[in-house]
Amino acid sequence: MGAERRRYERGRTARGSALLGCAALVAGCASMPDSGDVSAVKASKPGDSQVRVYPVTPRENAAPGEIVDGFLEAMTGDDPGFATARKYLTKQAARSWKPEERTTVLTAAPYRRQPDERTANGDTAGLVYPLYGQQIATVDSRQAYQPVAPTEYAGTIHLVQVNDADGKGKEWRIDSLPPGLVLSESDFQRNYRSVNTYYFASGRNRVVADPVYIRQRQDPVTRMDPVAQTVKALLEGPTNWLKPVVDSRFPSGTTLKEDVKSLTPDDQNTLKVPLSKKADNVGQEQCRKMAAQLLFTVGDLASTRVEQVELQRSDGSRLCALGESQKGNFMPDPTVGTENPYFIDASGQLAELEVAAKDVEGPRQVPGPFGNGAVKLGSVAVARDERYAAGVSQDGKDLRVASIISDAELPEPVVSSRGPGPQQRLSAPSWDGRGDLWVADRNPASPQLLLVPGGSGAPLPVTAPWLSGGVVIQELRISEDGVRIALLLKKGDRTTLHIGRVQRQGSGAQQTVAVVDLQSVAPRMESMTSVSWAGPSRLVVLGKLAGGVQQVRYIQTDGSTSAGGIPGLNQVKAVAAANDERVPLVAASADDGIVRLQPGGNWQPMAEKGTSPVYPG
C-alpha cells in the first residue's frame, strides 16, 4: 500500500521499485528479468512478509523529484548494503549514511512537498525537499521498538548537482538526509519481525523476555540471516529499558565468531553457535546459563526447530550444550498448573472452568471460603501454584488470601482500604512468579501500590513516583517474572496502558520495591478497559482505537501490534489469557456470560453469568 500510494499521489512515472511477491511455502521466487521495461506494480498489502522490493537505480538525467522518490522507495528494499539506495546519494553522503542507526515508523510513506531553493552568492546551491507524515514509533540501534502518540513528522532531503560518471554533465544527488531509515508502518512490518531475546532477572536464575526487531530476511548491513541476527541481538545485551533489572551470563564483549553470517540447526535439531574468544574460558555452570538464554531465544523463531543448543569455543571445540528438557530449570514460573481459568459467578463465589475440554462443562465452585459463600467477591487473583487465591470483597474494602483446595475459615484481611466507595478502594490483585501479591489502594486521600510478600506478610508500599496528580490505577497485572507490570492508568476521562519496570532491593519483608520508567504501550488507543498477560512479551487488551469501536487485540509489551486477529464480541467487560499461548482466551460479556476462544475458532459460551475471568497469576 505504501509504495502504491506514493506512485499515485506523487504522480510517479512508470520507473520505480519493482515489487515482486512470492509464496515462500508454495514456490520459489522467480528471478529478476535482465531485459525489458520495469513497470510499477501494486505494492504489498500491509504486513505482507511474502512481498519483496527490488529497488531501481536512478536513471540518467533524472529530475530532482525522481531522485527523492527513488531514494525513499529504495529505503524499503533489502538489497545488500542498501547499495541501490546509496546510488541516489553523493559519495560523501553514501559513506556517512548509517541506515542501522535508527528507524522512524510513519503511518504511511513520507510525502514530499515542492522543493525550496537555497542560494549562495546568487547561484543556486541546491534544493531542499521537505518531508512530512505522521510518526507512530521509533526503533533504536538496539532494535528496541518505542511507540509514540501519532505525531507530525518533519524531515528534509537536500540535493545538489554533482559531476556525472564521465565528468561531462551534472546529475542531481542527495547530500543531506534524515538519520537512519524512514518507513511506512506496512513497509516496516514487511521488512521486520519481533523476536524475544532472553536474560536473567537480576539475582535470579529465571529468564525474562526482551523483545527486539530483526530483519525478516538477510540483514542488508550485516548480511546475517534471521537466526544469526537474533543471536547477535542477544549477545549485544538487553535493551536500555530492561537493562537495570536483568543480567546476561555471556561475558561482556562476546560476539559470534568472525564471519559467521548464517546459523542453521543440524539434522538432530541442534544449533551449534561458534563464539568469539571472550567466551573460551567460561565454566560449565555459566555456560549452561548462556546456553539457556540462547535456547529460549531461538525457540521463539517459529521457522526454526531447535531442540538443543551447543556453544563452541573460537577454535570450534565444544564448550557446553543444553537441551529442551532442561529449559524448565530456568522458567520464571516453574510451577505446573492446569491452565484452567477461574471467574466469579452470579453469587459472588469463585468457580473454575475446564476451558480446554472439547465439550463445554459446567463450572466447579472451589473449596474454601471463596467458594462456599463465606464472602462475596468483587475481584480475584489465583496464585500460580493454584493452591491459594486472593479475593477482594464486593465493596472493595478488604483483600483476603485463602485456600482453594481445602475448606477453611474465612481469614482476616491482609489489606483494607478506607476509600469512600468501591471504585476508590482496592483494585483486582495479581500474583507474580515469586509468590508475591500485588494490589492497588485507590483511596484518593492516600493512593498506594502495595506488595504482600508471599501473599501473607505485612503489605509493603511500592515506590511509584508517577502515582500523583489525579492518576488512578484502574487495573494491574504483574508478569510471571516479576520485573514488569502492566497498568491501566486513568486520568480524567481517559484510561491508558503502560508497562512499568519493577526494581527490588533485598528480599522478603525487608525488601524495597519501586515501579519506575513507565512506558506507554498503546498510545493510539483512546480508552482501555482490561489487560492480561498472554505470553512472555505479549498482552491481550480490551479497548478502543481513536474513533473506533471496542475490540480485543494483542499488543507486544514494547507497544508494537502483535500478529493474529481476534473475532469480535459484543459488550465485553473483561478479558484474560494464559502465559501458554495455545490455551484459549476467556472473556466476560454482558450478553453471553463467560466465553472462550480456542485457537482458530469463534467465541463459545461457557457459563451463562459471571464476571472477572482470570488465569492463575
| pLDDT attached to residue 6 | 39
**Which helix H or strand E contains 86, and what residues bound it?**
helix 83-86
Neighbour-count burial of 361, counting CB atoms closer than 10 A to its CB (0-12 exposed, 13-18 middle, 19+ buried): exposed
d(CA 20, CA 79): 14
Neighbour-count burial of 54, counting CB atoms closer than 10 A to its CB (0-12 exposed, 13-18 middle, 19+ buried): middle
**Cα atoms in the Cβ-side hemisphere of radius 13 Å centred on 4:** 10
| pLDDT attached to residue 514 | 97
d(CA 302, CA 562): 14
Give the burial string for 563-587 (b: 16+ CB within 10 Å, else e).
eeeeeebeebebbbbbbeeebbbbb
Across the 617 residues of the chain, what is the mean pLDDT of every consecutive 10-residue run?
Answer: 37 39 35 33 43 82 94 93 95 95 95 73 71 95 92 95 84 95 95 95 94 94 95 96 97 95 92 96 96 93 84 95 92 68 95 80 91 95 95 97 94 96 96 95 96 93 95 96 96 93 87 95 88 93 84 91 77 91 90 88 90 94
Residue 307 near residue 322, CB atoms below 8 Å? no
| pLDDT attached to residue 30 | 33
- Cell 546568487 found at: 122
Residue by residue, DSSP assigns 373-388 as TSS-EEEEEE-TTSSE
Centroid of chain to Cα 380: 27
Cβ neighbours of 170 (radius 10 Å): 12
Domain limits, CATH 2.120.10.30, in the chain: 342-614
**Which helix H or strand E contains 310, and what residues bound it?**
strand 308-312
d(CA 22, CA 48): 10
- The three grid cell numbers given for residue 40, joined into one nine-digit string: 510499477
Residue by residue, DSSP assigns 537-563 as SEEEEEEEETTS-EEEEEEETTSPBPS
Amino acid 2 reads G
- Cell 514460573 found at: 333
**Which helix H or strand E contains 346, and what residues bound it?**
none
Strand pairing of 525-533 and 512-520?
A: unpaired
| pLDDT attached to residue 335 | 57
**Domain 342-614 class?**
mainly beta
According to DSSP, the residues that pair with 439 across neighbouring strands are 450
According to DSSP, the residues that pair with 505 across neighbouring strands are 512
| pLDDT attached to residue 527 | 87
d(CA 397, CA 189): 46
Task: State the Cα angle at 275 between 274 and 277, rounded to 5°.
Answer: 130
Query: What's the whole-model pTM score?
Result: 0.88
For residue 409, the 8-state DSSP code is: P
Residue 451 near residue 437, CB atoms below 8 Å? yes
| pLDDT attached to residue 544 | 86
Task: State the Cα angle at 455 between 453 and 456, rounded to 5°.
Answer: 85
Residue 345 near residue 607, CB atoms below 8 Å? yes
| pLDDT attached to residue 104 | 97
Angle between helices 284-299 and 226-235 in degrees, nearest 10? 130
